[in-house]
């Protein structure tokens, strides 16, 4: 029973250089998981979500191998054991 | 030769001698500076064609402007002697520092990064060094690398293989074997076609040599050395050399050019990665978790800055660059890119109350953050939380920060920023906290503002220097808004400005204003570059008159006020909104000196053929010296400057990412826009730098 979040390289300045953060407790949704992540690493919040609470445009989050854009967004339900990946979209560079 | 005069150079002392000729320290009697003067010995330049070639190469090398390349000032021929005048570098050749076991790894990486950066710059301009070796890499006492003799060593490989002529020294003399053969790539020895990758090979030989004090390929004769270069693998470096560096060296020493790094920039990046790995910052302690982080930039050469220096802050779509010059503005040190990969739409320098704080708006898909540096870029704040953000009830999210402006001198802690979607933010406490200016955000016009090509952005903020409650903002596409009560309420001020993108040609608002400028000595007068149209207002933006008199196009983005003359304004006309490039491929700055009654083109030193450039709204700037320096950057990454009010221009730097903003500031000088006015004349004088012994040479400022 554990939820792990993979942190991409550019954000590791804000996760104490960790590439992987194991969350305490058992979050039921992705949003709950992110809130646990942000409580431990507050610098990540504004880099992943905008001030309107939306996922930033060029960032994708996957639960397992599924993009959350197709599974309910931030409300995506998490299984008891889950691996969450935060990955910049290929459309991000200009 | 000592004591003789060659052209306008007085030869003072001999400082070196090589196969190519003798190098003297000389005095430039025109420009009053010391230079190095190389007189090429006749034997090294046997034929007229070689001579022409050498002249051509030296001339193209003189276009190189990079902090790690010894600048070539002039190439000439006098009394049938070829001479090259170059920057006088005070330092030691790297070869003399390599005795014994080589240099500490940290130095190898530091020098390697700079050499690779120099090569990357020259290769970008199709100039191959062809004779890179530790004896023509100078190290100054500050640890700065200067690569000498760029492009000077070109000769036909056929000549070389026949041992007939070599610029450095004949192969078959006893000591000749210590020449350049050891740095030659296999393809040269094989007589194959060569390209810039021979420099990447030579760089690696230098790195190897610097790391252990030994050359990778040795032999008693030219044949043995050649054979080793062609067939041997370089001997293993000592274990103190990190595997990352060893891997880079090995890859650059691949016999097949295609198996090497293909670009010097890639070698530079790889060396920087090893550098940062060997100095990784320790993890933050829990106490650091909520405060802003400080990002320390290692592995980058930063500027050394003194009071009175001129700084150019250059923002691009892929990072920021800082350039520094003395008040002479004759040469520039370059540092960067800062914020690798970030789009930098706004930069500023806050020097109120003795501060030296740089501000940068940094934008990636991870968000937009304002970051500051109090040490000219060596360290930057990296806020945990976005410092500028819309309040939760707005339903808006910050897309970018287009402008960072300073408050008036009597509000030394106030800052403003203009953002996309169009809104104004202010900070009363040096950027610690920011709040949305609601008077503008809640304006009844706002729901009907339209985004332009650059989004709906508030890009310009002007403070009236006399009336502390009056300020202006310019928004694309909404127009000019003025507040007379310190931002509580705002009125659209666009009367007389035509729009082309709406059925109504003179609406109250909706204009796509690209830039507005004002001279502090005449704050009731403003100039405006519209999406189409050039305008002036003489009544604080209440009414605008067309002033597009004699310009090839009244479309354009940027507009710059002369620092001392309220009648002089600079623009760069763009052909049209369909073809957003300089008309006819000619890069022309236009200047009015009579407040827009007429405009004249300024072209001297600017390309007049095939120059399809775009200069964006914040990409031109003026310094406050006299005569004024005017600078602009292009979307093609070229940076130009003039130090005589726009009369003559020079390319300062090229090959940058797309330039979005350029700002010139004088270190230590009170900020022009922030100063209150006493009288018109006194205000203009007050914006010039203080005279001091350090810059007493500059000619006295004229009263206008």
Question: Is the confidence at residue B143, as pLDDT, over 50?
Answer: yes
Pairing of strands B650-653, B545-546: unpaired
Task: Please state which of the ranges A76-85, B67-76, B314-323, B533-542 shows the lowest mean pLDDT.
Answer: B67-76
The residue assigned the tokens 């009394």 is: B79
* Residue B290 binned pLDDT confidence (cut-offs 50, 70, 90): low
pLDDT at B156: 34
Question: Is the confidence at residue B546, as pLDDT, over 50?
Answer: yes
CB contact under 8 A, B284 and A16: yes
Euclidean distance between CA atoms B53 and B355, whole angstroms: 51
Q: Quick one: angle between helices B264-277 and B197-212, nearest 10?
A: 30
Max intra-chain CA distance, chain B: 87
Of B663, B517, B647, which is closest to residue B595 (Cα–Cα)?
B517
What token pair was written down for B374? 């109090």
Question: Is the confidence at residue B681, as pLDDT, over 80?
Answer: no
Per-residue model confidence as pLDDT tens digits over B452-473: 777 899 999 999 999 999 999 9
CB contact under 8 A, A51 and B398: yes
Question: Is the confidence at residue B54, as pLDDT, over 90?
Answer: no
pLDDT at A91: 57
Task: Compute the mean pLDDT over every residue in chain B, rounded to the nearest whole number.
Answer: 85
DSSP state of B667: T
As a whole number, mean pLDDT of residues B390-399 equals 91
Question: Is the confidence at residue B667, as pLDDT, over 90?
Answer: yes
* Residue A34 binned pLDDT confidence (cut-offs 50, 70, 90): very high
B449/B22: higher pLDDT: B449
On whether the CB atoms of residues B146 and B91 are closer than 8 A, the answer is: yes
What token pair was written down for B540? 């604080």
DSSP state of B236: P
As a whole number, mean pLDDT of residues B117-144 equals 88
Task: Please state which of the ranges B43-47, B292-296, B476-480, B688-692 shows the lowest mean pLDDT.
Answer: B688-692
CB contact under 8 A, B293 and A43: yes
Task: Please state which of the ranges B177-186, B593-602, B681-690 shows the lowest mean pLDDT.
Answer: B681-690
Euclidean distance between CA atoms B593 and B333, whole angstroms: 32
Contacts of B340 in chain A (CB under 8 A): none
State the complex-level ipTM: 0.92
On whether the CB atoms of residues A61 and A5 are closer than 8 A, the answer is: no
Distance from CA of B313 to the nearest CA of A (A): 22
* Residue B699 binned pLDDT confidence (cut-offs 50, 70, 90): very low
pLDDT at B704: 32
Cα angle, residue B299 at apex, residues B297 and B303 outer, rounded to 5°: 70
As a whole number, mean pLDDT of residues A2-16 equals 92
Closest residue of chain B to A12, computed from CA coordinates? B283
Catalytic residues of B, by residue number, are: 131
Question: Is the confidence at residue B14, as pLDDT, over 50?
Answer: yes
Return all residues near B238 (Cβ < 8 A) that are at least 6 apart: B101, B211, B212
How far is C-alpha A93 from the geometric centre of its chain's CA atoms?
Answer: 20
pLDDT at A26: 87
Pairing of strands B555-561, B600-602: unpaired
Q: HSE (CB half, 13 Å, CA atoms) of B555? A: 13
Beta partners for residue B426, in sequence order: B416, B435
Q: How many CB atoms lie within 10 A of CB B411?
A: 15
* Residue A90 binned pLDDT confidence (cut-offs 50, 70, 90): confident
As a whole number, mean pLDDT of residues B387-408 equals 94
Q: HSE (CB half, 13 Å, CA atoms) of B225? A: 19
Per-residue model confidence as pLDDT tens digits over B482-528: 999 999 999 999 999 999 988 999 999 999 999 999 999 999 999 99
Q: In chain A, which residues touch B (CB < 8 A)?
A: 10-11, 13-14, 16-17, 41-43, 45-48, 50-52, 54, 56-59, 88-89, 92-94
Task: Please state which of the ranges B75-84, B628-637, B669-678 shows the lowest mean pLDDT.
Answer: B669-678
Euclidean distance between CA atoms B132 and B148, whole angstroms: 8
* Residue B65 binned pLDDT confidence (cut-offs 50, 70, 90): confident
Report in angstroms the alpha-carbon separations of A58 from A14, A64, A86, B342, B401: 19, 19, 11, 14, 18
| Dihedral (Cα; B310, B315, B316, B319), 10-degree rounding | 100
Q: Is B538 exposed, middle or buried (0-12, 13-18, 19+ CB in 10 A)?
A: middle
How far is C-alpha B654 from the geometric centre of its chain's CA atoms?
Answer: 8
pLDDT at B171: 33
Contacts of A92 in chain B (CB under 8 A): 364-365
């Amino acid at each position: 029973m554990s939820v792990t979040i993979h942190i991409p390289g550019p954000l590791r300045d804000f996760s104490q250089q960790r590439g992987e953060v194991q969350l305490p407790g058992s979050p039921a949704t992705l949003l709950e998981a992110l809130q646990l992540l942000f409580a431990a690493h507050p610098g990540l919040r504004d880099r992943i979500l905008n001030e309107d609470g939306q996922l930033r445009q060029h960032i994708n989050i996957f639960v397992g191998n599924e993009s959350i854009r197709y599974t309910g967004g931030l409300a995506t339900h998490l299984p008891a054991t889950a691996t969450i990946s935060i990955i910049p979209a290929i459309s991000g560079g200009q | 030769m000592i004591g003789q005069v060659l052209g306008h150079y007085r030869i003072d002392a001999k400082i070196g001698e090589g196969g190519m000729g003798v190098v003297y320290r000389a005095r430039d009697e025109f420009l009053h500076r010391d230079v190095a003067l190389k007189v090429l010995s006749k034997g090294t330049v046997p034929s007229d064609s070689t001579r022409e070639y050498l002249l051509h190469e030296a001339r193209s090398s003189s276009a190189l402007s990079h902090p790690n390349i010894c600048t070539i000032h002039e190439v000439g021929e006098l009394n049938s002697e070829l001479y090259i005048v170059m920057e006088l570098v005070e330092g030691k050749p790297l070869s003399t520092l390599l005795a014994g076991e080589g240099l500490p790894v940290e130095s190898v990486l530091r020098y390697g990064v700079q050499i690779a950066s120099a090569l990357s710059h020259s290769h970008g301009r199709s100039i191959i060094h062809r004779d890179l070796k530790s004896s023509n890499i100078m190290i100054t006492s500050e640890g700065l690398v200067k690569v000498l003799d760029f492009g000077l060593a070109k000769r036909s490989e056929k000549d070389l293989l026949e041992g007939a002529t070599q610029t450095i020294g004949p192969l078959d003399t006893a000591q000749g074997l210590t020449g350049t053969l050891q740095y030659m790539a296999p393809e040269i020895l094989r007589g194959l076609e060569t390209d810039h990758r021979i420099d990447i090979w030579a760089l690696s030989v230098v790195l190897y040599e610097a790391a252990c004090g030994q050359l990778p390929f040795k032999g008693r004769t030219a044949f043995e050395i050649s054979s080793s270069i062609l067939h041997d693998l370089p001997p293993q470096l000592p274990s103190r050399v990190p595997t990352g560096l060893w891997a880079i060296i090995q890859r650059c020493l691949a016999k097949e050019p295609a198996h090497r790094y293909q670009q010097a920039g890639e070698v530079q990046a790889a060396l920087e990665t090893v550098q940062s790995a060997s100095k990784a910052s320790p993890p933050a302690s829990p106490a650091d978790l909520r405060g802003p982080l400080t990002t320390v930039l290692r592995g980058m050469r930063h500027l050394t800055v003194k009071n009175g220096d001129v700084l150019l802050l250059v923002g691009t779509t892929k990072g920021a660059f800082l350039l520094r010059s003395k008040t002479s503005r004759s040469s520039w040190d370059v540092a960067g890119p800062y914020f690798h990969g970030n789009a930098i739409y706004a930069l500023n320098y806050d020097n109120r109350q003795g501060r030296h704080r740089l501000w940068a708006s940094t934008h990636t898909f991870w968000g937009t953050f304002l970051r500051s540096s109090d040490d000219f870029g060596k360290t930057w704040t990296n806020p945990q939380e976005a410092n500028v953000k819309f309040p939760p009830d707005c339903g808006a999210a910050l897309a970018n920060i287009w402008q960072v402006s300073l408050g008036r001198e009597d509000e030394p802690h106030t800052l403003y920023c203009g953002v996309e979607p169009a809104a104004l933010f202010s900070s009363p406490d040096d950027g610690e906290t920011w709040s949305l200016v609601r008077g503008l955000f809640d304006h009844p016009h706002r729901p009907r503002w339209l985004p332009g090509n650059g989004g709906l952005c508030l890009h310009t903020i002007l403070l009236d220097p006399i009336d502390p409650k009056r300020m202006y903002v310019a928004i694309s596409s909404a127009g000019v808004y003025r507040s007379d009560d310190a931002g509580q309420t705002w009125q659209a001020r666009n009367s007389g400005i035509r729009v082309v993108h709406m059925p109504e040609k003179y609406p109250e608002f909706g204009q796509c204003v690209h830039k507005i400028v004002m001279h502090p000595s005449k704050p009731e007068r403003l100039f405006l570059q519209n999406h189409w149209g050039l305008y002036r207002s003489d009544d604080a933006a209440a009414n605008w008159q067309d002033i597009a008199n004699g310009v090839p196009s009244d479309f354009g983005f940027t507009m710059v006020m002369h620092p001392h003359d309220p009648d002089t304004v600079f623009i760069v006309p763009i052909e049209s909104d369909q073809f957003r490039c300089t008309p006819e491929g000619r890069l022309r700055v236009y200047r009015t000196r009579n407040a827009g009654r007429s405009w004249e083109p300024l072209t001297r030193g600017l390309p007049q053929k095939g120059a399809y450039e775009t200069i964006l709204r914040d990409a031109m700037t003026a310094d406050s010296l006299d005569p004024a320096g005017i600078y602009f950057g292009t979307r093609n990454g070229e940076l130009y400057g003039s130090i005589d009010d726009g009369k003559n221009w020079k390319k300062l730097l090229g090959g940058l990412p797309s330039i979005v903003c350029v700002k010139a500031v004088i270190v230590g000088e009170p900020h022009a826009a922030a100063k209150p006015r006493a009288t018109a004349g006194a205000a203009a004088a007050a914006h010039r730098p203080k005279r001091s012994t350090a810059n007493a040479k500059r000619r006295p400022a004229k009263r206008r």
